[in-house]
Amino acid sequence: MNTSHLSSPNKLERRLAPLLDLLQKQSVVQSVTHRQQQNRADVIENLLQRQQQAAIQREVDKLKSPDIAHLLEMITSDKRHIIWRLLSHEVAGEVLIELNEAIAESLIEMTLPDTLLPILETLDTDELSDIAELLPQDLLNRAKASLKANERNWLEQTMSFAEGSVGDIMSRDCLIVTETISINEAIELVRSNTELPPQTDKLFIVNNLRHISGVLPLINLLRNPVHSQIEQCMDKDVVTFSPTDQAEEAGQAFERYDLISAPVVDSKGRIIGRLTVESIMDYLRERAENQALAKEGLSADSDLFGPIIDGAKERWPWLCINLITAFIATRSISLFENTIQQLVALATLMPIVASVGGNTGNQTAALVIRGLASKQVHRDNITFIYRKELIIGLMNGLLWGTLLGLFAWLLYQNTMLGLVMMMAVTINLILAAFIGITVPFTLDRLNKDPAMGSSVVLTFVTDSMGFFLFLGLASLVLI
């Protein structure tokens, strides 16, 4: 392997630095020349732009497609278009499928259909299916028309499967042999392929009806006598998937059985595609990113350098919800204005109650979200999870509530204030644990992302109830 092409973070940063400098210089040149007299500025600008463009082209040619995609995701849209226009059709196609969906869609929108079509024609059917939903329908139809009949049928079949299913991420390239041939014939068939499909670790064995009957790891293909029959050497215990299976569940099976690839079969047991560890890892990584951002009410497809108005609009719904919940929380405080006026210490202590509750709720929610993702949490064991987390909330509430109560007593020399602090913290931690389970579990039952907005809801409940509990108990006990 040529180690000069490895893209570790430090190496990639060093390789992109000259290109970023050139893009910055080009912006400066354009800014300066526009201030000169018009005729002279046009000549200077054209000359300097050609020089800069040639230099940028040389640097771009040194990069691999994933690195170019990474570059496009870290620069503003005006510079992004400069790079995009310099790419060959083949490289542009490879880059397009590597990009964040929002950025890929913006590049598709700014590219003329007649320019984009040759780029799409460089993609195989699996790659085309990955970006099909981003393409205008008329352009997608033109791209389909350029495919062979079997490839077009495969593309339409793949696009018909639900997002997040095995069928949505499977590929059609796999090595299939019949069980009636010999090891030597199988080796010759493998050799006849100019290029093996990525992550090929085994042959898929089928009978005359194309039903899966076994698999043969490549290492066993080489170890068995050449005159042996495939049927005698194959492993009949095969892990298979249906195209309607959830990709997340398939990922758990890949981890459980240490799979590199596996066949995808229809309801009659016939092979229709292949699932690889690469496609599974890509899906799980994207899902993890989606969940992390969904928890805060954001989308993983956001363009960090996209239009300002688009970024603002994306945040409006959850900001609106957050403002409403914050207003409700403040109403909890307003109910006890007289209490706060009589004992000012309450105003300094009540944020502690809300903060501790929020932390506990987020910890519980994180565990439940992970459990739902791995299918460990379901209706049969949810009662145990509630009981366990509520007891943990009670134990932590008593422990840390007592410590905070002692702190309040030492600080203000008020025994009853310390008791109120302990009780409020304990109850709020129990409530936070309850909400931390209920919110993601309810969302999952509604077929929504369990992480979606959970942080906003938890903050609202723990803040408002923390204030209400602390001030309510104080008004009953202290005033």
Share above pLDDT 90 across residues of the chain, in percent, rounded to a whole number: 36
- Are 176 and 196 in contact, with CB atoms under 8 Å apart? no
Residue 143 has pLDDT above 80, yes or no: yes
Following DSSP, what letter does each residue of 357-376 receive, concatenated? HHHHHHHHHHHHHHHHHTT-
Per residue in 158-173, pLDDT tens?
Answer: 888 998 899 999 998 8
Position 6 confidence tier, pLDDT thresholds 50, 70, 90: very low
pLDDT at position 359 is 81
Looking at the DSSP bridge assignments, the partners of residue 214 are 205
- Are 332 and 467 in contact, with CB atoms under 8 Å apart? yes
pLDDT at position 3 is 38
> Whole-angstrom Cα distance, residue 13 to residue 28?
22
Helix, strand or coil for residue 213?
Answer: strand
pLDDT at position 328 is 72
All structural domains of the chain = 13-149 (1.25.60.10), 176-294 (3.10.580.10), 308-477 (1.10.357.20)
> Whole-angstrom Cα distance, residue 90 to residue 69?
13
pTM of the model: 0.67
- Are 155 and 129 in contact, with CB atoms under 8 Å apart? yes
What value, to the nearest 5°, has the Cα angle with vertex 458 and ends 456 and 462?
125
